[in-house]
């Protein structure tokens, strides 16, 4: 009989072992699935941000100019505006010098000179007015606004025109490429090759001008990754010490960024100290904001800083496509987000003689102020939390003391009979 029962006994032990293991596996599986939420949300956020910002770039009210003050220039500008359906904002500029100035102020991103040779003549306005009338007559004879380019060609005179396109690749290489694609067919209709002149070229070792954007990526990763270390490994440290670590780390990150921009990759050929200063402001803002947010977000801090300083930041910085090439959401972020402040501030400082630099610096300073305020809010929250924990601990001690007092009977005072009994027992045992 025992030999029959023994297998059943072992079988029941095995089943019991399996049953005890299942709850442990279930708990571990729930733990893993809970932590998988973070990378999955990162995947969704990165896809929405990057594809939403970069998947289908198209101009929206991209400002360009036709250089000329005569009737033909206005007709050509109006014709392009009519056919652009809001993609372009075409204006006229009186002369080439004014167009160059607007390009360097990033008021426009391309300027089409119908005949570059005519720009140097003193009697250009008179000739343009007369030729403009002839161009308008030709345009009316054809009966279609699409022939405005032909009128522009006539505006340059009977000789073959020399069209020129002015661009500033330092402002945005992609915008310059889009403008060139728009005006090249117009030059072909004039029967002459298009001469492209870059009035604000980038550094020799950064021909596309996108090196500044990838510098932004490097500084950003160094900053928000350090937030996880300071918040996690330094969770037991006082907040003031964590904030000091954030400031010190931002200093190191900015030095690394300046090394990349200057001696390592030669992204800028002058103004390196200014680039370093903007890198420090940018990095310090991220680190202080992240350090303060860790008090509130805990393990969700990494996702939070990635949303702020990767998903929304890189896509709105203007490093790949300017806001005129993006939808309204990212174009709006470009006006005040810190990545745009760094990218546009660096461009202004290095390539555009500091025009508009103060506004970009204020953007970086305000983000640094937000970081200081976030750390201050975290300090108040941690102070209240410590006070609440101390109060809870004191209440627990008081409750425990009351419980002990309630369960242990009070000691009765000793009487004379008790003392006599104690003496008799001591004599009995020979003490």
pLDDT digits (tens, 9 = 90+) for 192-218: 889 999 999 999 999 999 999 999 999
d(CA 255, CA 151): 56
pLDDT score at 29? 87
The HSE-up count of residue 269 (CA atoms within 13 Å, CB side) is 10
For the residues 405-418, what does the mean pLDDT come to? 64
d(CA 429, CA 426): 5
pLDDT score at 336? 97
Check pLDDT > 70 for residue 148: no
Check pLDDT > 90 for residue 419: no
d(CA 352, CA 347): 7
pLDDT-derived band at 28 (thresholds 50, 70, 90) equals: confident
d(CA 414, CA 133): 128
Neighbours of 109 (CB within 10 A): 27
d(CA 425, CA 59): 107
CA distances from 155 to 72, 79, 151, 314, 422 (A): 6, 15, 6, 45, 131
pLDDT score at 125? 47
Instruction: Tokens for 62, please give them.
Output: 């991209």
pLDDT-derived band at 16 (thresholds 50, 70, 90) equals: low
pLDDT score at 137? 34
Check pLDDT > 60 for residue 231: yes
- Strands 111-113, 164-167: pairing kind: antiparallel
CB-CB contact of 116 with 164 (8 Å): yes
* Calculated CA dihedral for residues 117, 118, 122, 123, nearest 10 degrees: 150
CB-CB contact of 330 with 60 (8 Å): no
For the residues 368-380, what does the mean pLDDT come to? 97
- Percentage with pLDDT > 70 across the chain: 79
d(CA 258, CA 278): 10
d(CA 260, CA 376): 33
pLDDT score at 157? 43
Check pLDDT > 70 for residue 408: no
d(CA 398, CA 427): 44
Mean pLDDT of the chain: 83
For the residues 234-259, what does the mean pLDDT come to? 95
CB-CB contact of 133 with 71 (8 Å): yes
With 0-12 CB in 10 A as exposed, 13-18 as middle and 19+ as buried, what is 20? exposed
Alpha helices in 260-356 (DSSP H): 272-297, 301-306, 313-316, 328-334, 338-351
37-41, 144-148, 411-415: range with highest mean pLDDT: 37-41
pTM of the predicted structure, to 2 decimals: 0.79
pLDDT score at 141? 30
In tens, the pLDDT along 57-94 reads: 899 999 999 998 888 889 999 999 988 888 999 999 99
Check pLDDT > 90 for residue 331: yes
Q: Find the largest Cα–Cα distance for the chain.
A: 143
pLDDT score at 143? 33
């Amino acid at each position: 009989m025992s030999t029959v029962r023994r297998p059943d006994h072992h079988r029941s032990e095995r089943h019991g072992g399996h049953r005890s293991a299942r709850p442990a596996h279930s708990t571990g599986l729930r733990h893993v699935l809970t932590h998988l939420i973070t990378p999955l949300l990162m995947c969704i956020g990165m896809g929405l941000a990057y594809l939403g910002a970069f998947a289908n770039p198209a101009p929206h009210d991209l400002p360009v100019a036709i250089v000329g003050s005569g009737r033909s220039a206005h007709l050509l500008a109006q014709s392009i505006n009519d056919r652009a359906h809001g993609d372009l904002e075409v204006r006229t500029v009186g002369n080439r010098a004014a167009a160059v100035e607007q390009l360097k102020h990033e008021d426009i991103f391309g300027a089409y000179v119908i005949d570059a040779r005519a720009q140097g003549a003193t009697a250009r306005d008179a000739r343009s007015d007369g030729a403009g009338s002839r161009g308008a007559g030709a345009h009316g004879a054809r009966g279609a606004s699409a022939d405005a380019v032909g009128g522009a060609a006539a505006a340059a005179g009977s000789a073959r025109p020399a069209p020129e396109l002015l661009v500033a690749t330092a402002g945005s290489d992609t915008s310059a490429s889009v403008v060139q694609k728009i005006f090249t067919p117009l030059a072909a209709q004039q029967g002459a090759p298009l001469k492209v002149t870059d009035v604000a070229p980038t550094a020799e070792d950064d021909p596309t001008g996108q090196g500044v954007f990838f510098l932004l990526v490097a500084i950003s990763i160094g900053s928000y990754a350090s937030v996880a270390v300071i918040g996690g490994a330094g969770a037991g440290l006082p907040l003031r010490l964590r904030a000091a670590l954030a400031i010190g780390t931002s200093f190191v990150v900015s030095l690394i960024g300046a090394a990349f921009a200057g001696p390592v990759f030669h992204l800028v050929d002058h103004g390196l100290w200014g680039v370093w200063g903007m890198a420090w402001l940018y990095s310090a803002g991220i680190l202080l904001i992240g350090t303060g947010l860790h008090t509130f977000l805990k393990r969700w801090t990494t996702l939070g800083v990635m949303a702020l300083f990767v998903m929304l930041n890189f896509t709105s910085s203007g490093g790949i496509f300017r806001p005129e090439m993006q939808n309204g959401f990212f174009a709006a972020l470009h006006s005040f987000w810190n990545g745009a402040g760094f990218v546009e501030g660096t461009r202004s400082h290095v390539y555009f003689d500091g025009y508009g630099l103060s506004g970009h610096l204020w953007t970086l300073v305000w983000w640094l102020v937000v970081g200081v305020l976030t750390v201050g809010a975290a300090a108040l929250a941690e102070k209240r939390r410590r006070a609440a924990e101390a109060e809870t601990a004191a209440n627990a001690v008081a409750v425990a003391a009351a419980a002990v007092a309630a369960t242990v009977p009070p000691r009765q005072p000793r009487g004379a009979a008790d003392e006599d009994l104690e003496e008799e027992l001591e004599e009995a045992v020979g003490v």
